[in-house]
Amino acid sequence: NAGVMQNPRHLVRRRGQEARLRCSPMKGHSHVYWYRQLPEEGLKFMVYLQKENIIDESGMPKERFSAEFPKEGPSILRIQQVVRGDSAAYFCASSPGRGSEKLFFGSGTQLSVL
């Protein structure tokens, strides 16, 4: 049973480009959470999605960031017009049902903006 799969593991972008981060939840899990971890900081909640629905996006920056979890395929975190401050580790986690009991995390995507 594969765990939470994130890709790419490392992503390098120049300022102004777009970054697309993918997350496939564990088999049987229909709830996905995205977290961001800046250097020397803790994990910050960004968004919680269920298939085709955004449940809680209170942690998402107001501009340039968007997330989706379509009926088919992985969840996507999209960052438009990246800036250096977007450089961070982005972790995806999944759970089988509502509520965040026992989240299982993917290995993360390390985004570096040049």
Partner 1 sequence: RKEVEQDPGPFNVPEGATVAFNCTYSNSASQSFFWYRQDCRKEPKLLMSVYSSGNEDGRFTAQLNRASQYISLLIRDSKLSDSATYLCAVTRGSSGDKLTFGTGTRLAVRP
Q: Interface with partner 1 includes 102 (CB under 8 A)?
A: yes
- Residue pair 44/36 in contact (Cβ under 8 Å)? The answer is yes
Q: How many residues bind partner 1 (CB under 8 A)?
A: 26
To partner 1, the closest distance from the beta carbon of 6 in angstroms equals 9
Contact 60, 67 (CB under 8 A): yes
Q: With binding defined as CB under 8 A, does residue 85 bind partner 1?
A: no
- Taking the complex as a whole, how short is the minimal distance between the CB of residue 66 and partner 1, in angstroms? 18
Any contact of residue 66 with partner 1 (CB under 8 A)?
Answer: no
Pairwise CA distance, residues 106 & 8, whole Å: 11
Residues 6+ apart with CB under 8 A from 109: 6, 7, 8, 9, 10, 11, 21, 89, 90
Residues that bind partner 1 (CB under 8 A): 33, 35, 37, 41-45, 48, 55-56, 59, 89, 91, 98-108, 110
